Amino acid sequence: MLGFNKSKCDPSLFIFSSSTAIVFMLVYVDDIILIGNSPSLLQKFITQLNEIFSLKDLGTLDYFPRQVHY
């Protein structure tokens, strides 16, 4: 789906990689966390997922399970 590959180590982790970008998608029940090194690619995946599912974008990740600094 959307070009992601399922992680061999964690069934809830999906990975998309290209020559210039990487995106990790972590899925737990009805929650999804997308992280990666390309904001435009992240937005593309959010848009594509929103065409399939009804999403509520909560914005930038600040805490999981510790505070996130970037």
- Reply yes or no on whether the pLDDT at 69 is more than 80: no
In this prediction, residue 62 carries a pLDDT of 77
Mean pLDDT computed over 35-50? 93
Is 23 exposed, middle or buried, given 0-12, 13-18 or 19+ CB atoms closer than 10 A? Answer: buried
CB 34 within 8 A of CB 41: no
Mean pLDDT, the chain, whole residue set: 89
- Reply yes or no on whether the pLDDT at 1 is more than 90: no
Q: Which residues contact 36 (CB under 8 A, 6 or more apart)?
A: 16, 21, 22, 23, 24, 42
